[in-house]
Amino acid sequence: MAVFEYVAKDSTGNEFSGVYTDIDSKKSLQQELAKMGYSLVKAHREKGGSGKKGGKIKQTEVVSFAYEFAGMYAAGLSIIRCLETFEAQVENAAFKAVISDIKQHVETGSSLRDAFDRHRSVFSDFFVGMVEAGEAGGKLNETLHMAAVYLESQMELKNKVKSAFAYPVVVSIMCMFIITALVIFVIPVFQKLYAQLHITLPGPTLLLILVSEIVRHYWWAVLSIIGVSVFVARTAVKNPFVRARIDSLKLNMPVFGRLNRMVVVSRFVRTFAMMASAGVSVVEAMELAKQVANNQVMSKIIGSIQDDILTGSSLAEPMSRYDVFPPMIVQLAAAGEEAGILPEMLTKGVDFLDNQIDRTVKSLLMKIEPILSVLMGTIVGGILLGVYLPMFDYMGHVK
């Protein structure tokens, strides 16, 4: 499928421009416009044809769209008018093309859910599910606002985790640059010096010289190995068996396993609570929440809970059998079911869980920073010691 920029005329002869995605030819574009009562003036096919013109669509843009869409629709504007307004305001060409495509399909009689479903990778399974629930239950305004709140909370959670680990990543990158500079520029200088002095080199120094020789003379092989390794790793991750093993490792790894479990549970519980409050059935809400959790181990657990619910079980009882769910969440689920306010109780629980995630990230960071500093200092110090070790030995013999 291709992407076309076009100019068309309406029945009164007024010209307007737009972008149409996922269409195979100019003739097909002309036919689609004719269905809407427009005549094609000219069209230009965009190179790449992926609908991603203008770069990546940021999550902040999607959140802003969700809030504005909910606000304009609540103010009484029609869906088409809301989309037209946002299409005129958005600056990202890729997002403009997506909004234009959604508007065009709604104008041709498509449901709002189906129009958004074409761009599920941009708006997420959760957003599409909330739109579907809003259309079916006549509560589109409420579900759009809930979707916006949810997307914003998930974005904030993701940003917290990213910002917390920014320092270790920066320190690691700087250390790699320092080590690379030592290996490429410093070690060869001392290698020549020691060769001129005819000094017998110890094992650590010989190892550093070997690494330096490999990096300087066979850098193409090193880069090739790294490139192939990255390709193999990315391909392996797509394998269901490997993906399941990785997901299991994420939840059970030392130090970070507890944090990963809380993040996965937070995604699942918040998604389920929002869908349930929008009027979606428990089983359907769990199915969508399972996709949002994005962890195969969690998906199996949720599937087992779904089976228990279909046989008449409560939600809290099967949840209590799995250690991945914090006791607080299980207790709030039981209380919510008994009082008939399950979504509200789960939302309170996941708010507390998100705060606990924030505290855990800060605590981990406080532990990681000194450990990382010592580790990096030890590596750089070890390299420098290996470089100067023959010099110390030589000076000892001179004395």
pLDDT per residue over 348-374, tens digit each? 888 888 888 888 888 887 888 788 888
- How many C-beta neighbours within 10 Å does residue 179 have? 15
Are 117 and 223 within one domain? no
8-state DSSP, 184:
I
Please report the pLDDT score of residue 157 as a whole number: 75
Are 286 and 399 within one domain? yes
Are 86 and 39 within one domain? no
Domain boundary (163, 193, 213) is at 163
Place of tokens 């997307």: 151
Residues paired with 23 in a beta bridge: 2
Share of the chain above pLDDT 90, in %: 3
Please report the pLDDT score of residue 78 as a whole number: 87
Size (the chain), residues: 399
Do the Cβ atoms of 277 and 343 come closer than 8 Å?
yes
Q: Does residue 97 form part of some domain?
A: yes
Q: Does residue 52 form part of some domain?
A: no
Of 177, 187, 176, give the one whose Cα is nearest residue 217. 187
Q: Fill in the amino acid letter for 341.
A: I
Model confidence at 69: pLDDT above 70 = yes
Do the Cβ atoms of 330 and 320 come closer than 8 Å?
yes
Do the Cβ atoms of 134 and 116 come closer than 8 Å?
no
Cα distance between residue 287 and residue 307, in whole Å: 11
Are 306 and 347 within one domain? yes
Exposure string over 281-315, b if 16+ CB within 10 A, otherwise e: ebeebbbbbbebbebbbbbebbeebbeebeeeeeb
Q: Please state, rounded to an integer, the average pLDDT across all residues of the chain.
A: 82
Two structure tokens written together for 358: 């924030």
Are 158 and 117 within one domain? yes
Domain boundary (145, 163, 181) is at 163
Do the Cβ atoms of 19 and 38 come closer than 8 Å?
no
Do the Cβ atoms of 15 and 9 come closer than 8 Å?
yes
> What's the pTM value of the predicted model, to 2 decimals?
0.68
Is the CA virtual torsion 211, 215, 216, 222 positive or negative? positive
By residue range, what is the domain housing residue 132? Answer: 59-163
Model confidence at 49: pLDDT above 60 = no
- Banded pLDDT at 48 (limits 50, 70, 90): very low
8-state DSSP, 57:
P
Are 149 and 264 within one domain? no
Are 247 and 156 within one domain? no
pLDDT in tens, 113-166: 888 888 877 887 778 888 888 877 777 888 888 888 888 887 887 777 777 677
Q: Does residue 130 form part of some domain?
A: yes
Q: What φ, ψ does residue 5 adopt, rounded to 5°?
A: -95, 135
Are 67 and 41 within one domain? no
Q: Does residue 111 form part of some domain?
A: yes
Please report the pLDDT score of residue 31 as a whole number: 75
Q: Does residue 51 form part of some domain?
A: no
Q: How many domains does the chain have?
A: 3
pLDDT in tens, 290-346: 877 778 888 888 889 888 888 888 888 899 888 889 898 999 999 988 888 888 898
Cα distance between residue 238 and residue 250, in whole Å: 16
Two structure tokens written together for 308: 């228990």
8-state DSSP, 314:
-
Are 9 and 130 within one domain? no
pLDDT in tens, 214-267: 888 888 988 899 899 999 988 888 888 888 888 888 888 887 888 888 888 988
> Which CB contacts under 8 angstroms, 24+ apart, belong to 14-20?
15/41, 18/100, 18/104, 19/46, 19/53, 19/93, 19/96, 19/97, 19/100, 19/101, 20/100, 20/101, 20/104
24, 51, 89, 209, 287 from 281: Cα distances, Å: 38, 34, 36, 66, 10
Q: Does residue 224 form part of some domain?
A: yes
Are 282 and 353 within one domain? yes
Q: Span 1-23, mean pLDDT?
A: 68
Q: Does residue 50 form part of some domain?
A: no
Two structure tokens written together for 127: 């957003």
Are 235 and 147 within one domain? no
